[in-house]
Structure 1
Amino acid sequence: MTETTTTLIATHSGTFHADDVFGVGILMGVFPSHRLIRTRKQELIDTADFVVDVGGVWDAAKGRFDHHQRGFDGARPATEVEGALVPGVGYASAGLVWSAFGTAYVQAWCKGQGHALDEAAVAEVVRSIDHSLVQYLDIVDTGQGDVSPGIFGLSSLIAQLNTHWLEEKGLDHAAKAQLLETRFREAIAITRKFLDHVISKKVAQLRAMDTVRQAPRLLGGRVLHLQEGGMPWTHVVLNEMPEVMFVIYPDSDGDQYQIKTVPVEAGSFTARMDLPKSWAGLRDGELAAVNGVLDSVFCHLNLFIGGARSFEGAVKMAELALADVAAA
């Protein structure tokens, strides 16, 4: 297919789910010149360039992405956990389309945003999106789990966009079908906007990694100084900087410097080192009276973040926190 060719994408009519919405949305992003049909008529399905969640065939080379047929056993590769092989999550249509066209979608997104990522970086974005999002759409759609971690709640959100009996009351078949298609397209728009934002965050993380690695380290290497606020640093610090206890960076409002503890692992509320207990919940003058840093702004009650008006003040807070632990 050339760029000027109109790509025909088919999926089933009637109630939609997140996996068919997602799969069709990916193909729409990869093939901007497209036409969509929602049908269960095999003679129409057979004319499509790509078929999602209907048709009874899985053959990526032929553009067929269904998972309902007898004998279907498509699944992600097994992984080893504590010496035992754990089967990979089975595919629904979302995962089938992403496995075939995730790379092309990410590349198209990067091109549109002016980001230049090498092949390895694109592959990492595709892997990350599958791990954090797509597999949970598949889990819900195939009944592999009723409650899953991650952001699988997108499945429930998409399901709410289906029409209900009161909306359909008094409508003939054609009007119902048109209303459902309108909702389906709304669901695609929501899903793609969400997906694009997830991709954007992952790309930002990858592009920040070298900046984080090259950032100055203070106080014997135990404090990392980032000159830009909002930069994702957790992955690099957790995996490559075991000696770093605190990270200092300018607040997004530009009126203070924050000092943040480093968690023991991603998502954990337990830190490698807390700020001093005597600072908990104090602000401004009360905090300054306790720690002696005149431009202290705050220390969170749970001791994972604090701030000062100046960079020097934040560094002094880090120095005091390190000394507090050493003296304990």
Structure 2
Amino acid sequence: MASPAKRLKTTPLRIGTHNGHFHADEALAVYMLRLLPEYQDSTLTRSRDPAVLEECDIIVDVRNPAPDQSAGFGNRVQGQYDGTKHFDHHQRTFSETFSPEFQTKLSSAGLIYKHFATQMISHRLSIPIDDPSITLLYNKVYKDFIEAIDANDNGISAYPSDVKPAFNDKSISLPSLVGLLNPEWNDPVKTQESEDEKFLEASKLMGTVFVQKLDYYGKSWLPARDYVVKAMEGRFEHDEKGRILIFPQSIPWKDHLFTLEVEAGIEEEDKKPLYVLYSQEAEKQGWRIQCVPVSRDSFESRKPLPEPWRGMRDDALSEASGIPGGVFVHASGFIGGNETFEGALEMAKKSLGL
């Protein structure tokens, strides 16, 4: 007979969740767990039988407690959250958030992310677990992706209830797409097996987007920070007030710029960068000049390109600006282009004085 240690190594771990109608949060929670080496070959049990679920190694989004806690009817609709085996968020007293900086209550996705994401990030991106970038990515991915899943599952709106939306965008959200994967109420051949297959499809949908987000932040967004730091350090080279930043190519710079401004204590508006220049010569499109927005998500620029240039192209732009090599300036004035670095830089300098 094999030793207990050997049996432990060869027996796949088991993930448990409820059966029936499924949502985006537990679909994502299961996928995230399977990104961990110890759960990559795990089996999945979908049930509402407490005794069956308690046989699993980890249980997510399940309201029913262990059999020895279900003496009363009231207890049977309660869940458990202990941070080790039980990860449910339906308890009346549940108020767990990602950190004190957040007010959004966690769903099962947020709970799994909170407890296991540092290992996921380290494993997926091959970054040492104690590297400072792990914490940076851990917080960033939660804020920009996981929190919205938590809010959706807990019925938290992004806007005050008295704000009337201009259109309905709920039908194109990830949770709504997961909802469509549930078997229809009048499906004549609905079985537990077919339902489980649909759940795995939903889990793959949520997980694929999660991994794409994680890869983007780890492999593209994070490395861009060093370029923004360098540009901030050299921003007085072309303007005595440091209002022009220069990058060798197009990079995701906005998040990092606003973060670095706060870290550097740059509060005065006249000391903040206004224009970003970056090369697109690899695409044979010359150089771009882009205005820094007033905030991360704003379409309003700190200082748009001059109004007389807006909507102009090519020779007409060169004539209007007095700068050779003009390519275009967007009608809103938030971005423009020139054939050369010197031309784009001159556009930035001239715009500062207009």
Q: What is aligned with 1:57?
A: 80
**TM-score, normalised relative to structure 2:** 0.79
Give the match for residue 138 of structure 2: 126
For 1:51, what is the secondary structure of its paired residue?
A: strand
Task: Indicate how the Cα distance of structure 1 residues 274 and 117 shifts in structure 2: closer, same or farther if over 3 A, else same.
Answer: farther
The equivalent residue for 1:68 is 90
Q: Equivalent residue for 1:82?
A: none
Query: Residue 200 of structure 1: CA displacement?
Result: 2.3
1:76, distance to aligned residue in structure 2 (A): 4.0
Q: Name structure 1 gaps, 5 residues minimum.
A: 80-86
Specify whether residues 235 and 75 from structure 1 end up closer, same or farther in structure 2 by C-alpha distance, changes over 3 A only.
closer
Give the whole-Å Cα distance in 2 for the aligned partners of 1:147 and 1:224: 34
Letter in 2 for 1:179: S
**Map 1:26-105 → 2, pairs under 5 A:** 26-30=32-36, 31-54=39-62, 55=64, 56-61=79-84, 63-79=85-101, 88-105=103-120
Partner SS for 1:58: coil
Larger deviation, residues 303-312 vs 210-219: 210-219
Match of 1:247 among 273, 276, 284: 276
Q: Structure 2 vs 1, CA of residues 270 and 70 (structure 1 numbering), >3 Å: closer, same or farther?
A: closer
Q: Identify unmatched segments of 5+ residues in structure 2.
A: 65-78
Q: Which moved further from structure 2: 33-42 or 70-79?
A: 70-79
Distance 1:4 1:233, change over 3 A: farther
Deviation at 1:143, TM superposition (A): 2.5
Residues 73-126 of structure 1: per-residue CA shift (max 9 Å, x gap): 4334444xxxxxxx7222221111111111111112112xxx567532111211
- Mapping of 1:1-328 within 5 angstroms? 5-30=11-36, 31-54=39-62, 55=64, 56-61=79-84, 63-79=85-101, 88-111=103-126, 119-145=131-157, 153-166=173-186, 168-169=187-188, 171=189, 176-203=191-218, 204-215=220-231, 216-217=234-235, 218-220=237-239, 221-229=242-250, 231-238=251-258, 239-240=260-261, 242-251=271-280, 253-324=283-354
Change (3 A) 1:95 1:237: closer
Secondary structure in 1 matching 2:197: helix
More strand by share: 1
Q: CA deviation at 1:178?
A: 1.9
> Whole-Å Cα distance in 2 between the matches of residues 235 and 143 of structure 1?
28
User: After superposition, what is the alpha-carbon deviation per residue over 1:197-249, rounded to whole angstroms, capped at 9, x for unaligned?
Assistant: 222232232221122211343422321110122x1211333343743211111
In the superposition, relative to structure 1, how do residues 46 and 236 fare at CA in structure 2: closer, same or farther (>3 Å)? Answer: closer
CA contact (8 A) 1:5 1:33 kept: no
Q: Structure 2 CA distance, aligned partners of 1:117 and 1:41? A: 37
What amino acid maps onto 1:105 in structure 2? Answer: M
> Aligned residue for 1:84?
none
**Which amino acid in the other structure matches residue 66 of structure 1?**
D
CA RMSD of aligned residues (A): 2.6
C-alpha separation in 1, matches of 2:16 and 2:148: 23
**C-alpha distance in 2, partners of 1:319/1:301?**
20
1:294 deviates by 2.3
Aligned length: 306
Work out whether residues 98 and 114 of structure 2, in 8 Å CA contact, stay in contact via their aligned partners in 1. Answer: no
